[in-house]
């Protein structure tokens, strides 16, 4: 059984997850003290091991794909899931390359986030540190393992993976390769990386508020929502994306066409694609016929409010219903609404938006600044396609997902989202009594 190699545990008995989590915590404490270079070397070794053991990975993957085929035929598994499950020599090389990319990113730990001299010889430093133990629950895609393992280890965290049963063999080999790759690094224990399998494990895992610091679900929207609703541990879930572009009367028409078209058409399945286009009534007659024409040529189904339909000219539009404003199509469908003012657009966004990414097209910088201030979303854009909301485009180097939460990490989440901070305070025997008695007074001089 590969599982025994992978997790070092022969049984998956009830209560096993808490033990795995505790050992992961111990391993994480040791990892926290490993140098930048040490953590980088571990990733490079794991990338190398994956390439060298490509044949093993492909053999295990072939077993999973073969076992999944009847499930697809019986419609228990979709064809898309099978595609995501399948990997190749090129796929493994690609996984290894992404791990090396993460190794090259600057160290997210030990960054000085602030420094204050509280008094003579008493200096407070706010410094980035690992989160701790992270659990990742994912479906199908085995490439989640090297991706998340590299991000977690680079940022000093231990991980517990729970993959889908359809990818069990591939996941076991990958985790086994990673654990064995840690061998030459005595300060990085194998328990830094763990794999659990059963549904029962997940149920138990989501209750371990003391043992696990963060849960990251990866998969369909329904799956992410289910984990979010079930977990007692904080969840960092890829957010839903109901994004808008608002074309103000002060817009430059060329920019409006470029931004609206790209936001919808460039990759409509993405969470940062536009679902609803809002257009100021004073520019609607000049703008709508052209953009609708462009959408139609690109195969986009357009659903419009009555005014949009009236202005569309010859194009046959579907009337938009209330439900359309609340729908993330993730497809070549767009709803269009004519609004009387920027205020009405902002009101609409506040009501239906998912706080993901919202863009205004205008040549009025004051209006743009106001829009960006009052619209509450992870990204607020001016004259830019919503499709830019992405960790690589933002220059974060890697992305775990896009968070629409307002706590901890917001927007594209990279390495920094896997860190917390702590305060270091260094003195020479300082006591609070000195200050309470008035023998000394705080200086509070900001150093950085």
* Among residues 103, 131, 175, 195, the one that binds a second copy under rule CB under 8 A: 131
Q: Candidates 53-61, 165-173, 193-201, 365-373: pick the segment binding a second copy (CB under 8 A).
A: 365-373
d(CA 301, CA 298) in angstroms, rounded, equals: 9
Q: Which lies closer to a second copy via its Cβ, residue 142 or residue 241?
A: 241
Q: What minimum distance in Å lies between the beta carbon of 359 and a second copy? A: 8
Q: What minimum distance in Å lies between the beta carbon of 9 and a second copy? A: 22
Whether 242 and 350 have beta carbons less than 8 Å apart is answered as no
Scan for tokens 């517990």, then name that residue.
160
In this structure, which long-range contacts are made by residues 423-427, counting pairs with CB atoms below 8 Å and at least 24 apart in sequence? 423/124, 423/125, 423/126, 423/127, 424/124, 424/125, 424/127, 425/118, 425/122, 425/123, 425/124, 425/125, 426/122, 426/123, 426/125, 427/121, 427/122, 427/123
Whether 281 and 345 have beta carbons less than 8 Å apart is answered as no
d(CA 264, CA 283) in angstroms, rounded, equals: 20
Residues 42-81 that bind a second copy (CB under 8 A): none
* Among residues 59, 298, 374, 447, the one that binds a second copy under rule CB under 8 A: 374
Q: What minimum distance in Å lies between the beta carbon of 216 and a second copy? A: 12
d(CA 108, CA 102) in angstroms, rounded, equals: 11
* Among residues 40, 53, 84, 387, the one that binds a second copy under rule CB under 8 A: 387
Distances (CA, A) of 270 to 121, 241, 265: 52, 8, 10
Q: What minimum distance in Å lies between the beta carbon of 12 and a second copy? A: 26
Binding mask 192-231 toward a second copy (x if CB under 8 A, else -) reads: ---------------------xx-----------------
Q: How many residues bind a second copy (CB under 8 A)?
A: 72
Instruction: Locate 427 and state its tokens.
Output: 């003195």
Residues contacting 92, CB < 8 A, separation 6+:
50, 51, 54, 57, 58
Q: What minimum distance in Å lies between the beta carbon of 277 and a second copy? A: 15
Residues 145-174 that bind a second copy (CB under 8 A): none
Q: Which lies closer to a second copy via its Cβ, residue 135 or residue 305?
A: 135
DSSP-derived pairing of the beta strands 112-119 and 122-130? antiparallel
Q: Which lies closer to a second copy via its Cβ, residue 256 or residue 317?
A: 256
Q: Which lies closer to a second copy via its Cβ, residue 104 or residue 406?
A: 406
* Among residues 154, 271, 385, 400, the one that binds a second copy under rule CB under 8 A: 385
> In what side-by-side order are the strands of the sheet with 158-162?
193-196, 158-162, 133-138, 214-218
Q: What minimum distance in Å lies between the beta carbon of 435 and a second copy? A: 7
Residues 388-447 that bind a second copy (CB under 8 A): 388-389, 393-395, 406-408, 410-411, 420-433, 435-436, 442, 444, 446
Q: Using CB atoms within 10 Å of the CB of residue 63, give its burial: 0 to 12 exposed, 13 to 18 middle, 19+ buried.
A: middle
Q: What minimum distance in Å lies between the beta carbon of 420 and a second copy? A: 4
Residues 245-284 that bind a second copy (CB under 8 A): 252, 254-255, 258-259, 261-262, 266-267
Binding mask 98-117 toward a second copy (x if CB under 8 A, else -) reads: ------------------x-
What's 245-273 look like in SS3? EEECCCCCHHHHHHHHHHHHHCCCCCCCC
Q: Which lies closer to a second copy via its Cβ, residue 10 or residue 438?
A: 438
Q: What minimum distance in Å lies between the beta carbon of 302 and a second copy? A: 19
Q: Is 368 an interacting residue with respect to a second copy (CB under 8 A)?
A: yes
Q: Any idea what DSSP says for residue 278? A: E
Residues contacting 109, CB < 8 A, separation 6+:
32, 36, 128, 129, 130, 155, 156, 419
Instruction: Locate 368 and state its tokens.
Output: 């743009």
d(CA 136, CA 213) in angstroms, rounded, equals: 11
Q: Which lies closer to a second copy via its Cβ, residue 165 or residue 405?
A: 405
Q: Candidates 92-100, 197-205, 238-246, 384-392: pick the segment binding a second copy (CB under 8 A).
A: 384-392
Residues contacting 319, CB < 8 A, separation 6+:
303, 304, 305, 306, 309
Q: What minimum distance in Å lies between the beta carbon of 131 and a second copy? A: 5
What burial letters (b/e) apply to 88-118, b meaning 16+ CB within 10 Å? Answer: eeebbeebbebbebbbebebbbeeeeeebeb
Q: Which lies closer to a second copy via its Cβ, residue 82 or residue 440?
A: 440
Q: Candidates 72-80, 97-105, 199-207, 382-390: pick the segment binding a second copy (CB under 8 A).
A: 382-390
Q: What minimum distance in Å lies between the beta carbon of 373 and a second copy? A: 5
Residues 4-33 that bind a second copy (CB under 8 A): 25, 29-30, 32-33
Q: Which lies closer to a second copy via its Cβ, residue 104 or residue 393?
A: 393
């Amino acid at each position: 059984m590969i599982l025994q190699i992978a997790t070092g545990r022969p049984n998956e008995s009830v209560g096993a997850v808490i033990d795995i989590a505790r050992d992961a915590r111990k391993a994480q404490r040791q990892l926290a003290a490993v140098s930048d270079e040490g953590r980088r070397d571990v990733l490079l070794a794991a990338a190398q091991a994956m390439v060298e053991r490509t044949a093993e990975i492909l053999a295990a993957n072939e077993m999973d794909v073969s076992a999944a085929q009847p499930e697809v035929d019986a419609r228990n598994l979709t064809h898309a899931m099978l595609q995501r499950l399948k990997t190749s020599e090129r796929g493994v090389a690609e996984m290894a390359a992404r791990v090396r990319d993460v190794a090259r990113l600057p160290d997210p730990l030990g960054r000085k986030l602030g420094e204050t001299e509280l008094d003579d010889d008493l200096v407070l430093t706010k410094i980035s540190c690992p989160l701790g133990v992270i659990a990742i629950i994912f479906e199908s895609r085995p490439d989640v393992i090297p991706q998340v393992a590299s991000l977690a280890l680079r940022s000093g965290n231990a991980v517990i993976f729970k993959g889908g049963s359809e990818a069990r063999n591939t996941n076991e080999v990958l985790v086994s390769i990673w654990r064995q790759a840690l061998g030459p690094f005595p300060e990085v224990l194998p328990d830094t990386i763990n794999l659990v399998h059963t549904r029962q494990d997940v149920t138990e895992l989501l209750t371990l508020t003391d043992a696990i610091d963060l849960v990251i679900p990866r998969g369909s929207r329904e799956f992410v929502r289910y984990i979010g609703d079930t977990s007692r541990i904080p969840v960092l879930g890829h957010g839903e994306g109901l994004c808008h572009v608002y074309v103000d009367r002060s817009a430059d028409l060329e920019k409006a066409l470029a931004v609206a078209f790209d936001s919808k058409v460039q990759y409509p399945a993405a969470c940062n694609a536009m679902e609803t286009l809002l257009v100021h009534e004073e520019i609607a007659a000049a703008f709508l016929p052209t953009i609708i024409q462009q959408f139609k040529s690109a195969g986009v189904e357009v659903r419009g409010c009555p005014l949009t339909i009236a202005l569309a000219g010859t194009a046959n539009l579907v009337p938009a219903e209330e439900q359309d404003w609340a729908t993330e199509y993730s497809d070549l469908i767009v709803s269009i609404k004519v609004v009387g003012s920027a205020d009405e657009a902002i009101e609409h966004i506040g009501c239906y938006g998912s706080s993901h990414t919202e863009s205004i097209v205008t040549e009025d910088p004051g209006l743009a600044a106001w829009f960006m201030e009052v619209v509450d979303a992870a990204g607020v854009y001016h004259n830019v396609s919503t499709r830019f909301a992405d960790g690589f485009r933002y220059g974060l180097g890697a992305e775990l997902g896009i968070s629409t939460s307002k706590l901890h990490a917001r927007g594209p989440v990279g390495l920094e989202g896997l860190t917390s901070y702590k305060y270091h305070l260094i003195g020479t025997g300082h006591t609070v009594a000195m200050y309470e008695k008035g023998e000394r007074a705080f200086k509070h001089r900001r150093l950085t």
